[in-house]
Structure 1
């Protein structure tokens, strides 16, 4: 990180920009949402992720297309650790596969867990699904950022206590469903990689079936590892971007494209106008629009609990 800030001008400028970001905080029931004006995130926030746009550009995560100044650290033969030159966090890394393969968590969740463990205790690791936040849906990657920068890192325990329901407890594994009125979440806690992997595959199958998706259902994931224990929070998404993102009327348009960091409690607005005018009510409207409603979540909780019990107790 320090070497790249010195030797790579784009990276140096990106982290210098962080010093001038503006932040405001909205308090809700037992949690907070920050809104940050960060002009350095314009490219990522407004990224075109339709198939044609992706086909028309070189993949910026493939090693052969990285900037000449960008250095990398090899990780477990198949991944790289790169400094993100367009940071949100005080320390922000991108963790791409060395293979140009589509963004998909089903077959790479175990790598996510390894990153959580090996970047402990300083970083949270996150994943954006190909249809809800990944600016490179054609290339498998995770990201990592300074732990406790996102409010969810600190607020998770109180959210679990106030809004959570334990779906199953088996061996070291605990599975919870949490609805804080804004976000619908499923979380896993445990100290066994195989147990969490197993539960995740059951979750993935259940979520895919109930949403009727042929491809990966929409989700964002934030994970961490502390005191020899994993914590994985999965946010269940219904929609990629809110209608306000596409408003033709510039006065009504809001460039907020919710991904893991945003729903982890730091909403990034690359335009100062949006930062100045966004309200508590508008935030709630946006979150409500991109998450499943309470009725769906109740049905899914029952299905997931049933599927978990069938697997573990039959």
Structure 2
């Protein structure tokens, strides 16, 4: 049985046994969405997904992280949550707060910080074994609600999320038929971004990986801020938007209905301009 089939089976079994996951998936059919387009060349879809408030509003200060139990460590996961071993060091889990169809989270068994540099081979291997999926990574200051525990996420492919670069935000693209070459090119990008942000333990970035036309493809979104100013406003000026990889790719998550109703094209442009780092 290939890995994709195993994941489909896992979802079937888990939905039957785990009410939280079952409800999360049922809510996917009720999500409100709307799209904005820019000249027909690129688009952004807003998704009103109130269940994601847990991630969007997550406190990520060092103190807050140290004081809360890590929800990706086995001892703290829901008793009903089962998984599929991967590469003898990861576990593939159904995500009970989905954004995409078949939304999975892939944490390391070890409780180590969210750092992608030495894990790119693992990310590409996952993309290789899941040809119908997008694999995505949120940096520790770029949308990861568990920056203290390394994990990847994935979900079924959505063309919207494979747009690449556009005028709204930066996206560095890598593609190669050879996995080792893709890794080497990523290391070059990593070093370039590290040069631009030498004070960061890891250059701020989000990444989406997938395979297409027998090629490995990486879309890397350099970041200069974790959250836009709108997030910290008060009253009607506030937009509770905390961009991660999917938001940067074109699926912006709104956790409050008032934000979903009032957000404009100008707001979207402003959010991207505040969090995306321009690159040459």
TM-score range, shorter chain: over 0.9
1:148-205 Cα deviation digits (max 9, x unpaired): 1x6132x34xxxxxxxxxxxxxxxxxxxxx4x22111111101111111111112111
Does residue 182 (structure 1) correspond to residue 193 (structure 2)? The answer is no
Out of 3, 28, 36, the position equivalent to 1:26 is 36
**SS where residue 82 of structure 2 aligns?**
coil
1:91-130 mapped onto 2 (5 Å cutoff): 91-120=102-131, 122-130=132-140
In 2, the alpha carbon distance for the partners of 1:108 and 1:125 equals 13
State the match for 2:4 in structure 1. none
Q: Which structure would you say has the larger Rg? A: 1
2:228 is the counterpart of 1:242: yes
Deviation string 1:230-281 (CA, Å, 9 cap, x unpaired) is 010000111000011011x221111110110111111111100000000011
Map residues 29-178 of structure 1 onto 2, 5 A cutoff. Answer: 29=39, 30-120=41-131, 122-148=132-158, 151-153=160-162, 155-156=163-164, 178=165
TM-score by length of 2: 0.93
**Alpha-carbon distance in structure 2 between the residues aligned to 1:118 and 1:64:** 28
Task: Quote the offset at 1:214 in angstroms.
Answer: 4.0
TM-score normalised according to structure 1 size: 0.84
1:213 aligns with 2:199: yes
Is structure 2 residue 267 aligned with structure 1 residue 290?
Answer: no
Shift of 1:211: 2.1
Report SS of the residue matched to 1:184.
coil
SS in 2 for 1:107: helix
Does the Cα contact within 8 Å between 2:161 and 2:251 map onto a contact in 1? no
3-state SS of the aligned residue for 1:108?
helix
Q: Residues of 1 paired with 2:200 and 2:248: CA distance?
A: 25
Mapping of 1:218-297 within 5 angstroms? 218-247=204-233, 249-293=234-278, 297=279
User: What is the CA–CA distance in structure 1 between the aligned matches of 2:254 and 2:196, rounded to whole Å?
Assistant: 33
Equivalent-residue separation in structure 2 for 1:279 and 1:105 (angstroms)? 33
RMSD of Structure 2 on Structure 1 (CA): 1.1
- 8 Å Cα contact 2:204/2:224 also seen in 1: yes
SS at 2:26's partner residue?
Answer: helix
Query: Unpaired segments of 5 or more residues in structure 1?
Result: 157-177, 299-314
Residue ranges of structure 2 left out of the alignment (5+ in a row)? 1-10
| Map of 2:6 onto structure 1 | none
Q: Tell me, what secondary structure is at the counterpart of 2:243?
A: coil
Paired positions, count: 269
Alignment deviations for residues 36-93 of structure 1 (CA, whole Å, 9 cap, x no partner): 1111111011111111110011100011211100011000100110000000112100
